[in-house]
């Protein structure tokens, strides 16, 4: 399908081509791959990092591991796809609002500011955002901040208190509680696991 992606500087892009036999096996279990889809959230970020890490390993076990991670991604995609139905076309103004959030998620934002960037009323934005993305604007922002925190925690040695402030949390305890709720691990444990790999 024709598509276009815009990547920020410093992004990594890894293209995977799946063999037809594997696609046929998947088609027997789910119709997820019959239509375009998007996986978002901490699980997808973690899986993407694992996939890239295994690709960089370059040993004979990497292919087995990559296949396993791809299957996990497929399962995650199937969960997000939900029941079969037509692909929803997102209105242009709502895509603008989401892009605004994705660009500015690390700084304090108000609903009025986001709605102004999209050219709609904040009540309309709030209602339609939840309808199309199955999440509130606040939950989306929180998830983006935790995803960024996951990246910082796993790839840097920056102090957790500093990461909390960078990602827009009022203090480290609030950050740790939110991180644990969304990821299932404390930031310190997440860092230990990432470094062990």
Domain boundaries, the chain: 33-81, 88-134, 136-197
The tens place of each residue's pLDDT in the chain, 197 residues long, gives 566 667 667 776 777 777 788 778 777 877 766 766 666 666 677 777 778 778 877 777 877 888 888 877 777 776 666 544 444 688 999 999 999 999 999 999 999 999 999 999 999 999 999 888 888 999 999 999 999 999 999 899 999 999 999 999 988 999 999 999 888 889 999 998 888 76
Q: Could you tell me the two tokens for 102?
A: 């994705």
Q: Which CATH architecture has domain 136-197?
A: Orthogonal Bundle (1.10)
User: How many Cα atoms within 13 Å fall on the side-chain side of residue 195?
Assistant: 10
**Cα dihedral 73/37/186/159 (nearest 10):** 110
pLDDT of residue 39: 67
Reduce the secondary structure of the chain to three states and give it as a string: CCCCCCCCCCCCCCCCCCCHHHHHHHHHHCCHHHCCCCCCCHHHHHHHHHHHHHHHHCCCCHHHHHHHHHHHHHHHHHHHHCCCCCCCCCCHHHHHHHHHHHHHCCCCCCHHHHHHHHCCCHHHHHHHHHHHHCCCHHHHHHHHHHHHHHHHHHHCCCCHHHHHHHCCCCCHHHHHHHHHHHHCCCHHHHHHHHHHC
Q: How many CB atoms lie within 10 A of CB 32?
A: 19
- Is the pTM for the entire model greater than 0.75? no
């Amino acid at each position: 399908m024709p598509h276009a992606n815009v990547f920020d500087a410093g992004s990594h892009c890894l293209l995977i081509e799946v063999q037809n036999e594997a696609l046929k096996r998947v088609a027997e279990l789910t119709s997820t791959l019959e239509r375009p889809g998007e996986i978002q959230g901490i699980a997808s970020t973690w899986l993407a990092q694992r996939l890239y890490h295994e690709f960089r390993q370059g040993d004979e076990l990497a292919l087995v591991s990559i296949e396993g991670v791809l299957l996990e991604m497929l399962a995650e995609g199937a969960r997000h796809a939900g029941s079969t139905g037509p692909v929803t076309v997102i209105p242009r103004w709502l895509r603008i609002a989401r892009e605004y959030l994705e660009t500015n998620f690390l700084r304090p934002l108000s609903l009025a500011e986001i709605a102004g960037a999209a050219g709609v009323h904040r009540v309309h934005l709030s209602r339609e955002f939840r309808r199309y993305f199955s999440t509130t604007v606040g939950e989306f922002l929180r998830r983006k901040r935790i995803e960024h925190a996951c990246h910082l925690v796993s790839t840097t040695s920056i102090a957790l208190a500093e990461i909390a402030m960078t990602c827009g949390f009022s203090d480290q305890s609030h950050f740790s509680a939110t991180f644990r709720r969304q990821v299932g691990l404390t930031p310190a444990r997440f860092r230990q696991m990432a470094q062990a790999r």
